[in-house]
Amino acid sequence: MTSLAAAQVQEVRSITRIERIGAHSHIRGLGLDDALEPRAVSQGMVGQKMARKAAGVILQMIREGKIAGRAVLLAGQPGTGKTAIAMGLAQALGPDTPFTSMAGSEIYSLEMSKTEALTQAIRKSIGIRIKEESEIIEGEVVEVVVERGIGAGGARTGRLTLKTTDMETNYDMGTKMIDSLLKEKVQAGDVITIDKATGKINRLGRSFARARDYDATGQQARFVQCPEGELQKRKEVVHTVTLHEVDVINSRTHGFLALFSGDTGEIKSEIREQINCKVAEWREEGKAEMIPGVLFIDEAHMLDIECFSFMNRALESDTAPIVIMATNRGITRIRGTNYKSPHGIPLDLLDRMIIVPTAPYSHQELREILNIRCEEEDCQMSADALTVLTRVATETSLRYAIQLITTASLVARRRKATEVSMEDVKKVYSLFLDEHRSEQFLKEYQDEFMFNDGSGDGHQMDIMH
Amino acid sequence: MKRKICLIDNFETCKEVFREKLNKKLSVNMYMNTIWYKSLLNADKSCIKEEKIRKIHYKFDDDREMVEEYNTDTKVLLRRAWKVKGKLGCDGKWDVEVGDPIPEAVISNDCADIIESKDQPVVTRRNTRVNLEWRIRNLPYPIETYCIKANNDDKCIIVSTTNKKYYKKLQVPELKRLGLNVDQANIQSSHKFNTLIIMYKKPQQLLDMEMEWFKEVEKVKPIKDIPNECKTH
């Protein structure tokens, strides 16, 4: 049953996929049922039931949107699915809730102070839903033509012809528009709306005039009337923008100076204050609605003491988002101090957090995850090869085992086999060292490496202190 | 008996004359009572005089901005443009209501990834002393194709074509502001050089108001020393 569903999903995705396959691209949600109980294997999630259940509760809290400025810590060993849970949460929240993902070390930049980077991240995680009048093009597609420019790097140009019952117009399109038209699979006979400002395309259905074009149409084909009157109309549409986007729009230098200032850099606090006032005004008048989102900070132990104390303060604001941090450290030094603390996070911040632990995966769960990754990376693997790979995962690490999937499938393809066999896995296992074997190797041959005068141990001791 | 009729007759004509007078008086005053005229009076006005063009910048109470350009010889409005501000506060562009569009210095391609092709019909407005005029360029169809109708539900003029290639609702803000109806009898049109020209005869009310307003505009003192750093000789 699940495999059938997975196959269907696979089929649909293979057509529309533009993104590349990332480490967590197999995750499509938290894998919870309607009562927020975790299913064993669902939406790319395997095992980790307690943590997922906790994430489900947090999901509910975010959706209700009443509680501001809570912090959640995902703590666990490397490769136990902390980032996966955060990604799943983002997917489950849907595209309308802002979800900002950053790594702890991202805040260290020469162009921006640490607190500015954090403030921007926080403001990126708060959305405002606002009604605005906007130009909408609504019509039936007569023709879509995409031409590739001359030469290898020639820019694509496109022409779109739309009509209503009363008129017909040609439009020129840029690359971005062509991409989104292709992604939506817009074809002649579809009735679509295009938001002229944002370029968002919405397919309303197929025109009644085209109802007889095909004998067989999908169940989801909806037939609508061809629109009347003018193609372009002014309509009230609801936009979701983040506070940071509003900041940027208002902080741009006006006039021709805008040409020379590409990056936004730091945003003045006066502008932020003005915007906060404006937003408060809109909310009072019922023109806008605030959507608190999620700020996810991976590798949170990389933040230093200044950031932590800033977070303490920032979380108390009533416009703060839900902050989720993830760390794989145990009791360790807090960056910027000489004090040790659990997870490398000061106790006062830890006290404000709810901590969700993740535990190492069982043998069976590892096998399931590897299976999902095989599907994701489009790789056929025999059962015994998967067994070997699972053993590799238990003995070394899950990440290393996942690395072996595509490499093994490439080896299998070279000998013109469709399925990855045990031998292929063994071959790549011998070709590529895991972290443990590499360490062994180094210990054996340490003396033959560069800059080794035999006092390496003493140097290491220095770092430890 | 005869006398009585005569009296009634006389009375009727008297009434007629009175009504006419009343109407005239009303019509003189009516535009002065519109919200539009009052907002013009109350707006912050500043003026620049450039050779034969008088440019007036209006800042209204509700923060909207408008610019008008008058030819000082003919007293005709050459251009009227409104500043459009995004709700989120991005800096505004000028939306031209009457007159030639302002050529953009920098073509911004950050937002609109879809625009009408160059060969598609374009509407521009240009008023004369007695007419409101619309020019729709790039319309190659012969004059019989067009059907130009006054629509008083939306207070606009609807241009449609029998071949279903073009359809446009032309707003008539000048009439809307004075609360006047669009009268089919005032509409004239002609077609040449791929351009459809639609003329609407300005009603008396509008003429009166424009006359009056031009006098008002002349009272605004132009700013004398303009730093014209862009002038090159």
A124-159 per-position pLDDT tens digit: 999 998 887 888 899 999 999 888 777 666 677 888
pLDDT at position A5 = 45
How far, in Å, are A59, A66, A81, A300 from residue A324 at the CA level? 11, 17, 14, 9
Q: Where does chain A hold its CATH 3.40.50.300 domain(s)?
A: 10-125+293-358
Residues of B in contact with A249 (CB under 8 A): 86, 88-90
Indicate the domain borders of chain B. Answer: 44-119+206-233, 131-201
For the record, the structure tokens of A463 come out as 């770092």
Residues of B in contact with A281 (CB under 8 A): none
User: Can you give the pLDDT at residue B23?
Assistant: 59
Contacts of A165 in chain B (CB under 8 A): 164
Using CB atoms, pick whichever of A166, A172, A245 lies closest to residue B160.
Answer: A166
Q: SS3 helix, strand, coil % of chain B, rounded to 5?
A: 30, 35, 35
pLDDT tens, residue by residue, B138-180: 999 999 999 999 988 888 899 999 988 999 999 888 888 888 8
| pLDDT value of position A338 | 92
Q: What is the pLDDT of residues A287-297, one digit of tens each?
A: 888 888 899 99
Estimate the crossing angle of helix A398-414 against helix A422-431, to 10 degrees.
Answer: 110
| Contact check, Cβ <8 Å, A246/B86 | no
Say yes or no to pLDDT of A74 above 90.
yes
Q: CB-CB: which of A196, A197, A230 is closest to B167? A: A230
Angle between the A269-285 and A243-251 helix axes, to the nearest 10 degrees? 120
Q: What is the 3-state secondary structure (H, E, C) of A131-182?
A: EEEEEEEEEEEEEEEEEECCCCCCCEEEEEEEECCCCEEEEEECHHHHHHHH
Other CB atoms within a 10 A radius of the CB of residue B9 amount to 10
pLDDT tens per residue, range A453-464: 655 554 444 444
Q: How many CB atoms lie within 10 A of CB B136?
A: 21
Helices A398-414 + A363-376 axis angle, to 10: 40
Look at residue A99 and give its three-state secondary structure. Answer: strand
CATH 3.40.50.300 is held by the domain A10-125+293-358: yes
Residues of chain A within CATH 2.40.50.360 domain(s) are: 132-237
Q: Provide long-range contacts, Cβ within 8 A and 24+ apart, for A343-349.
A: A343/A73, A343/A75, A343/A300, A343/A301, A344/A300, A344/A301, A345/A73, A345/A300, A345/A301, A345/A308, A346/A305, A346/A308, A346/A309, A348/A312, A349/A71, A349/A308, A349/A311, A349/A312
Tell me whether residues B114 and A137 touch, CB distance under 8 A: yes
Predicted confidence band at A418 (pLDDT cuts at 50, 70, 90)? Answer: confident
CB contacts of B90 in chain A (<8 Å) are: 249-250, 252
Tell me: pLDDT of A263 over 70.
no
Is pLDDT of A27 > 90?
no
Fold of the domain spanning A363-444: Helicase, Ruva Protein; domain 3 (1.10.8)
Under DSSP, the state recorded for A214 is -
Examine the pLDDT at A8 and tell me if it is beyond 70: no
Which member of A164, A196, A252 has the closest CB to residue B114? A196
Specify the fold of B131-201: Immunoglobulin-like (2.60.40)
At A254, the pLDDT band (50, 70, 90 cuts) reads very low
* Chain B contact for A53 (CB, 8 A cutoff): no
Question: How far apart (Å, rounded) are the C-alpha atoms in residues A247 and A269?
Answer: 10
What pTM does this model have? 0.70
Q: How far apart are CA A88 and CA A82, in angstroms?
A: 10
Regarding the domain delimited by A132-237, which CATH topology (the fold level of the hierarchy) does it fall under?
OB fold (Dihydrolipoamide Acetyltransferase, E2P) (2.40.50)
Task: Tell if the CB–CB gap between A171 and B114 is shorter than 8 Å.
Answer: yes
- pLDDT at residue B226 greater than cutoff 70: no
